Chain A
């Protein structure tokens, strides 16, 4: 029996320290996976490439130059590291919490998840940055990989508050300047979109040469719609109120919900983007594994490009 058990949402909701939470999640998730031990540690392969104008002079292997009188740059070691950007939806709909776990909102889950992934990144030596996406406030933590960065990152993550709506396109323009370096983008959101605006952003990121991993956070209630009786459903993001007899509205709701989900999956699959649906009431390890896979893919791709 494994010493570290997978942490369920109830436990996670009680842990206030994001760093501790991240360590618990990651250690629990990666326990027993040998491959994961090798991921960040040893760089088994490094190669030289002839220096080309534009290459950073710091990358030149001067020892080799001394021996051979030719200028090479070392690539492998750096390329196996990945610049990871975490894009977290902080619109008001992220405040939704499930009925099963108290004090555990979608944004709480996103925090725990991103903190865990960032912790993985730090262990791998990746640089990682954060963007909180809301039309009222775009939070931003630049991508770094120094020792203190995780703390800064987690602090910024802690201060994210759910409010407003998905940012307008022109608000997102600043993103393109910040997310220059090609790398892995992890978008954590509920993907409740009105005009495919989230898909558009993902598409742009994808077209910009970034590996994109999308994680859709949903609550159990949104999937199963267990409500009965007369209910006024209030959407905090739009302010809309819909009064329904829940039992009779259920069928149509589920149809619409699944139709939207299917559209989203098809759109993302069409762009070759890995998409994962995560219920906030379930443990995080699966998402951590998906992230590791995506990261591996990215690293592998970079290596192939380098060759």
Chain B
């Protein structure tokens, strides 16, 4: 058993509260005038001992309640029985991995499938790889794979950072890092984007296009098209908007992602990242199906970052939500967007909800009910006198 949020154990300090209340209440005495007190005076010690014993069970009940609540908050998990069985189950292979590599890396009895729609068995041609789709695929695979079996993913080293904690899977995910396939087809990894630019900023667009074209780290070919803002429509899914004209609403209602350095018109923009000094560096707002991410600094020649090697990486991170790349050191926004939480086994297991979380909730409710009844009973007894 492990804890998803070990810091919650500090909540056990709260167990001191009922203890304190009990100690204080013990000093609370009703005063009654009683002439026959002399017949009471000789056995005080006995009574104190008895007092401790009679109320101890109520105290224990309250302590138990606090401990159970803390346990519930700490998100305890247990390894599923299937996770201990070793092999078997699905092993999903990223299309960017050579199938021979995957076979050597995966356990011998594993069922190898491509991490692609339909999860075809590894053996045929690798399916085309599309950036950004991996997450929903993993959730889908989790739903389709035989239950109780572990899920393995063979992915390139830089992809192994897919954050799993935000997507609650029903089972632990084991990540196996693999090198890229030797030959990644350029078509398979083509990303097309438009750079909409005003006449005054043609130079900025050209520089940006050069940077994107030069960047092919993970086999992702970016082809950028420069579009003058006189014919400004969002035709591509991904658009960089370097113009002072308003970003048009998308006519066909399809999802569009726009990166711009234009100041947002409304206050509805939400800060999604900060720079090293703590100032807002990236804002995001949604206009219908269009997501607009605004860099607070202008993306022109005055901004030294645009000449940086990592600029293209950062730009892609903004466009692709979570690009499959390591965070570039100079761009905190990329760090937040990529958020490649390293997924070790424990983190993967943390996302697994074992059924006894529900049992724990029931226990807490039961203990709370018992505590209420017991204390009501005790109070009733006191009122009887």
Return chain A residues, CB-CB under 8 Å to B385: 226-229, 231, 246
Chain B proximity of A107: nearest CB distance (Å): 11
Return chain B residues, CB-CB under 8 Å to A240: 37-38, 41
Docked pose: A96 CA to B33 CA in angstroms: 7
Return chain B residues, CB-CB under 8 Å to A226: 384-385
CB atoms of B31 and A234 under 8 A apart: yes
Docked pose: A228 CA to B44 CA in angstroms: 16
Q: Which of A22-30, A113-121, A253-261, A284-292 contacts B (4 or more CB under 8 A)?
A: A253-261
Q: Decide if B30 is an interface residue (CB 8 Å cutoff).
A: yes
Q: Which of B45-53, B71-79, B145-153, B183-191 contacts A (4 or more CB under 8 A)?
A: B45-53
CB atoms of A231 and B47 under 8 A apart: no
Return chain A residues, CB-CB under 8 Å to B36: 96, 192, 222, 253, 257
CB closest chain-B residue, reference A256 = B39
Return chain A residues, CB-CB under 8 Å to B46: 248-249, 252
Return chain B residues, CB-CB under 8 Å to A244: 40, 44, 47
Return chain B residues, CB-CB under 8 Å to A93: 35
CB closest chain-A residue, reference B40 = A242
Chain B proximity of A123: nearest CB distance (Å): 33
Q: Decide if A50 is an interface residue (CB 8 Å cutoff).
A: no
Docked pose: A244 CA to B50 CA in angstroms: 10
CB atoms of A230 and B51 under 8 A apart: yes
- Using C-beta atoms within 8 Å of the partner chain, give the interface range for chain B: 20 to 34
Docked pose: A92 CA to B54 CA in angstroms: 34
Chain A proximity of B24: nearest CB distance (Å): 12
Which A79-108 residues sit within 8 Å CB-CB of chain B?
92-96, 106
* A interface size (C-beta, 8 A): 39
Contact with A along B16-36 (1 / 0, CB 8 A): 000000000010111111111
Return chain B residues, CB-CB under 8 Å to A106: 35
Q: Decide if A245 is an interface residue (CB 8 Å cutoff).
A: yes
- Residue A192 contacts which of B35, B54, B382, B384 (CB distance < 8 angstroms)? B35
CB atoms of B382 and A235 under 8 A apart: no
CB atoms of B35 and A245 under 8 A apart: no
CB atoms of B35 and A260 under 8 A apart: no
Q: Decide if B42 is an interface residue (CB 8 Å cutoff).
A: yes
Chain B proximity of A98: nearest CB distance (Å): 11
Q: Decide if B267 is an interface residue (CB 8 Å cutoff).
A: no
Q: Decide if B104 is an interface residue (CB 8 Å cutoff).
A: no
Contact with B along A190-212 (1 / 0, CB 8 A): 10101000000000000000000
CB atoms of B30 and A230 under 8 A apart: yes
Q: Decide if A59 is an interface residue (CB 8 Å cutoff).
A: no
Docked pose: A257 CA to B41 CA in angstroms: 12
CB atoms of A253 and B381 under 8 A apart: no
**Contacts A242-B40, A242-B44, A248-B50 known; A231 to B35 CB distance under 8 Å?**
no
Q: Which of A95, A245, A249 has the most CB of B within 10 A?
A: A245
Q: Decide if B166 is an interface residue (CB 8 Å cutoff).
A: no
Docked pose: A74 CA to B41 CA in angstroms: 58
Return chain A residues, CB-CB under 8 Å to B381: 228-229, 247
Return chain B residues, CB-CB under 8 Å to A257: 36, 39
Docked pose: A245 CA to B31 CA in angstroms: 12
Chain B proximity of A184: nearest CB distance (Å): 27
Q: Which of B28, B32, B34 has the most CB of A within 10 A?
A: B34
CB atoms of A231 and B32 under 8 A apart: yes
CB closest chain-B residue, reference A255 = B39
CB atoms of B51 and A245 under 8 A apart: yes
Docked pose: A228 CA to B385 CA in angstroms: 5
Docked pose: A174 CA to B381 CA in angstroms: 50
Chain B proximity of A225: nearest CB distance (Å): 9
Q: Decide if A271 is an interface residue (CB 8 Å cutoff).
A: no
- Residue A249 contacts which of B29, B32, B33, B43 (CB distance < 8 angstroms)? B43
Docked pose: A296 CA to B221 CA in angstroms: 128
Docked pose: A192 CA to B41 CA in angstroms: 14
CB atoms of B37 and A242 under 8 A apart: yes
CB atoms of B30 and A232 under 8 A apart: yes
CB atoms of A229 and B382 under 8 A apart: yes
Docked pose: A19 CA to B7 CA in angstroms: 80
Q: List 21 A-B contacts (CB under 8 A).
A: A92-B35, A94-B35, A96-B33, A96-B36, A190-B35, A221-B34, A226-B385, A228-B382, A228-B385, A233-B40, A234-B34, A235-B37, A235-B38, A237-B35, A238-B37, A244-B40, A245-B50, A248-B50, A248-B51, A248-B54, A253-B36
Residue numbers of A with Cβ under 8 A of B are 92-96, 106, 190, 192, 194, 221-222, 226-238, 240-249, 252-253, 256-257, 260
Knowing that A232-B30, A245-B47, A252-B40 touch, tell me 9 more A-B residue pairs with CB under 8 angstroms: A192-B38, A232-B29, A233-B34, A237-B35, A241-B37, A242-B37, A242-B41, A245-B51, A247-B381
